[in-house]
Amino acid sequence: MYTRLLRPALFRLGGGDAEVAHETTLRALAAVSGGDARLTALWAATSRYRYQARAEPRTVYGIRFPNPVGLAAGLDKDGRALPAWPAFGFGFVEVGTVTRHPQPGNDRPRLFRLPSSGALVNRMGFNNAGAAALADRLATLGRLPVPLGISLGKSKVTPLDEAVADYVASLRILYEHGDYFAVNVSSPNTPGLRSLQDKAQLAELLGALSAEARSLAAGRTPRPLLVKVAPDLTDEALAEVLAVCAEHGVAGVIATNTTLSREGVTGADRAVATQAGGLSGRPLHEQALEVVRFVHREAGDTLPVIGVGGIGDAHGALRMLDAGASLVQLYTGFIYQGPELVRQINRAVSQTVYGPGKG
């Protein structure tokens, strides 16, 4: 129903403006999952996915995940529709990227579809209501039935030399609400952000965040910190990132963010691909797989990986798991394929014996 009826209607909204479709979907899901009586029937229909999308649970980072398929950061930055995602079968949800200060993001249009390539280009620029607003929403909502990750980024108004304090402030505001925290230093859409992946700057940032997490834990086990890396790093640069992560007690890696490459874009999509921003979706898949393989080969079980990038079917998810990922996340594939993709992946995982090296 999604690909034949709902997706074509959404893609026509706003004259084809992808962000209009995104906002319309979030508003509808927020209303449905918030208990709007007018939409009870629709919610009852969609909620059946929670019973049909189960896979074997697993424990990663000390957290029990009911299944390995998560919603990637970016789809629900401010947590507006949080109760909806577990109902679609997701085993965990990541909100954000959130910044210490509220910010509108980059000028519109800033989200572009490449349908023939199964891809998107975005230059959203961390548009969000800020860490305090997200904390208020999460406090009102209470705990989800699945783990919640929170992706942290640098505020655009914050100079790079003050980035550490900016991230630490967001962690402090949101600490009690997240099951894990992703440190986003790899978005191409905030000026200078990717320089925080450099060895010295990353070491300072992760050292401060790790110390803050230990302080906030107050004698308990600190909430896990993960680092989200760019797919465009050289092997040497990525190895340095992994070494810094290990040195500062980082729990894992999210591989990968969007890419600046346009390799794999086909046909009429090439014209749209000239837009500035990060590319996600099918053309990114092989590149993301290589990063996952590299991290798994270099770090093994010491830095478990969440694999994200171009997963558009169950086969793609299994390849990511075989490459060494412990969990996977969906973003662009979910936009193009809808909730059925979550169910297909979980069914495939529950029926397949997989392991590193088979992908």
One-character DSSP codes across 62-77: TEEESSSEEEPTTSST
For 10, 82, 220, 234, 267, the CA distances from 324, given in Å and listed in that order, are 35, 28, 29, 19, 32
User: Residue 227 falls within a domain, yes or no?
Assistant: yes
pLDDT digits (tens, 9 = 90+) for 149-180: 999 999 999 999 999 999 999 999 999 999 99
Number of structural domains found in the chain = 1
User: Residue 246 falls within a domain, yes or no?
Assistant: yes
| Across 178-187, average pLDDT | 93
Q: Which residue has the higher pLDDT, 211 or 15?
A: 211
Q: Which residue has the higher pLDDT, 53 or 74?
A: 74
73 among annotated binding-site residues: yes
Dist CA 87 CA 51 (whole Å) = 8
pLDDT digits (tens, 9 = 90+) for 270-317: 999 999 999 999 999 999 999 999 999 999 999 999 999 999 999 999
21 CB neighbour count, 10 Å cutoff: 20
- Identify the pLDDT of residue 327: 97
Share of the chain above pLDDT 90, in %: 74
pTM over 0.85: yes
Residue 344: pLDDT over 50: yes
Average per-residue pLDDT for the chain: 90
Place of tokens 């925080």: 196
75 among annotated binding-site residues: yes
264 among annotated binding-site residues: no
- Identify the pLDDT of residue 128: 98
Dist CA 24 CA 9 (whole Å) = 11
184 among annotated binding-site residues: yes
106 among annotated binding-site residues: no
User: Residue 359 falls within a domain, yes or no?
Assistant: no
User: Residue 346 falls within a domain, yes or no?
Assistant: yes
User: Residue 356 falls within a domain, yes or no?
Assistant: no
Is the distance from CB of 202 to CB of 185 less than 8 angstroms? yes
189 among annotated binding-site residues: yes
User: Residue 51 falls within a domain, yes or no?
Assistant: yes
- Identify the pLDDT of residue 356: 47
- Identify the pLDDT of residue 51: 43
Q: Which domain holds residue 206?
A: 2-351
Let me know if 280 is a catalytic residue: no
Q: Which of 117, 170, 187, 326 is catalytic?
A: 187
User: Residue 319 falls within a domain, yes or no?
Assistant: yes
Residue 105: pLDDT over 50: yes
Domain of 247, CATH number, reads 3.20.20.70
User: Residue 358 falls within a domain, yes or no?
Assistant: no
